[in-house]
């Protein structure tokens, strides 16, 4: 284990997710390696961020090697090994995440360019800010010198939601569930797929044995959970989003367990009929900081239709940001 601190950038660090994420990162969510936090905010939020940094200091985290804050991405991203791009406007009640494209897309052109210029050679970039898949596409396209497989968008929260719903239905522990998959977009069209999932080694769909529950409860509950939280809390998910951001980064850097996989939105190589170049969620395994799409899964007609619908939405979002001149 290296004792050189991992340099981790977090954008939108004074926001809701930031207020949970920074403390998780500093207390060891990525492992035992010391970390240096590089926190980006817009100018008006820097004072609030100074307060958050005082709180980080007051925790005396043994793994926290240092904190730098600022509003210039070329300074904050300098030499970072991991960039967690969270800073973006959240949606409000009645909105879809795609409605945020014009408000948030430009953030990711500027940040992609800055990462391209100053990030470390081994940088990994995880996008949480919505609409996450297409924002990751924007950042990736604006960072032509960074390999495309270093970008991913967060669908781990959807993955975790799916684990939790399946555990509640079957009485299993989330620890016994493996091979869950979220396909497509982090949006209401996403397809949470339990047909390849296993519960203590048994096929999850067979254990559930209730197609109506899968179609009418499981899929819509997972896909619309973000909106349900906004309705209930009056603000979008924050602690669970921070937790999923940590899970995704930890597994990307440290690897997935033997025999299991996770969901990550990554650039398509054409696998499972997803057009090359779209950032779509797939089942992936990770090893030594790289991911691979799990190959060879049988896709039923039921699953095919749902994957295709979500991928069509990603293609529409790509067309919209092309039209906006963002890629």
Report the interface residues with ligand LMR, using CB under 6 A: 90-91, 97, 130, 157, 226-227, 229, 236-237, 241
Stretch that binds ligand NAD, among 35-43, 201-209, 216-224, 250-258 (CB under 6 A): 35-43
Q: What is the number of residues in the chain? A: 327
Using CB under 6 A as the binding rule, whether residue 129 contacts ligand NAD is answered as yes
Crossing angle of helices 132-141/101-118, nearest 10°? 40
Secondary element (H or E) of residue 305: helix 301-323
* Residue 148 labelled as part of a binding site: no
CA–CA dist 107, 245 (Å, integer)? 19
Residues 223-242 that bind ligand NAD (CB under 6 A): 236-238, 241
Out of ligand NAD, ligand LMR, none, what residue 89 binds, judged by CB under 5 to 8 A for its kind, is ligand NAD
CA–CA dist 129, 267 (Å, integer)? 17
CA–CA dist 70, 74 (Å, integer)? 10
Nearer Cβ to ligand LMR (69/157): 157
* Residue 315 labelled as part of a binding site: no
Residue of 124, 186, 196, 225 marked catalytic: 186
Q: How far is the CB of 131 from ligand NAD (least distance, A)?
A: 8
Using CB under 6 A as the binding rule, whether residue 83 contacts ligand NAD is answered as no
3 CB-near residues (< 8 Å, 6+ apart): 33, 34
Our answer to whether residue 159 is catalytic in this structure is no
Taking the CA atoms of the chain, what radius of gyration do you get in angstroms?
19
Peptide bond into 131 cis (omega under 30): yes
Q: How far is the CB of 226 from ligand LMR (least distance, A)?
A: 2
Return binding residues for substrate. 91, 97, 130, 161
Which sequence positions are flagged as catalytic? Answer: 186
């Amino acid at each position: 284990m290296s004792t050189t601190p991992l340099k981790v950038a977090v954008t939108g660090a004074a926001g809701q997710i930031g207020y949970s994420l920074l403390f998780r990162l500093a207390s060891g969510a990525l492992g035992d390696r010391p970390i240096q936090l590089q926190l980006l905010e817009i100018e008006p939020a820097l004072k609030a961020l100074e307060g958050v940094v005082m709180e980080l200091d007051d925790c005396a985290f043994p793994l926290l090697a240092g904190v730098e804050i600022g509003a210039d991405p070329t300074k904050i991203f300098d030499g970072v090994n991991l960039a967690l791009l969270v800073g973006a406007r959240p949606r409000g009640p009645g909105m879809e995440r795609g409605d945020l494209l014009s408000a948030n897309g430009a953030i990711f052109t500027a940040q992609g360019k800055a990462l391209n210029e100053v990030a470390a050679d081994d940088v990994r970039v995880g996008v949480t800010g919505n609409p996450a898949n297409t924002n990751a596409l924007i950042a990736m396209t604006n960072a032509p010198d960074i390999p495309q497989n270093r970008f991913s968008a967060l669908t781990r929260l959807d993955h975790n939601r799916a684990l939790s719903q399946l555990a509640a239905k079957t009485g299993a522990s989330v620890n016994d569930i493996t091979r869950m998959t979220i396909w497509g977009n982090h949006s209401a069209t996403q397809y949470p797929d339990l047909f390849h999932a296993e519960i203590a080694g048994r096929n999850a769909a067979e254990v559930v044995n209730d197609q109506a529950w899968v179609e009418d409860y499981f899929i819509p509950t997972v896909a619309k959970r973000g909106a349900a939280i906004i309705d209930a809390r009056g603000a979008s998910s924050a602690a669970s989003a921070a937790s999923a951001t940590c899970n995704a980064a930890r597994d990307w850097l440290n690897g997935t367990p033997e025999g299991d996989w996770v969901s990550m939105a990554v650039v398509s190589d054409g696998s499972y009929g997803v057009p090359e170049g779209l950032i779509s969620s797939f089942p992936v395994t990770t090893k030594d900081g790289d991911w691979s799409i799990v190959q060879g899964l049988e896709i039923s007609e039921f699953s095919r239709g749902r994957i295709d619908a979500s991928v069509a939405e990603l293609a529409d979002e790509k067309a919209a940001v092309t039209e906006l001149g963002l890629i």
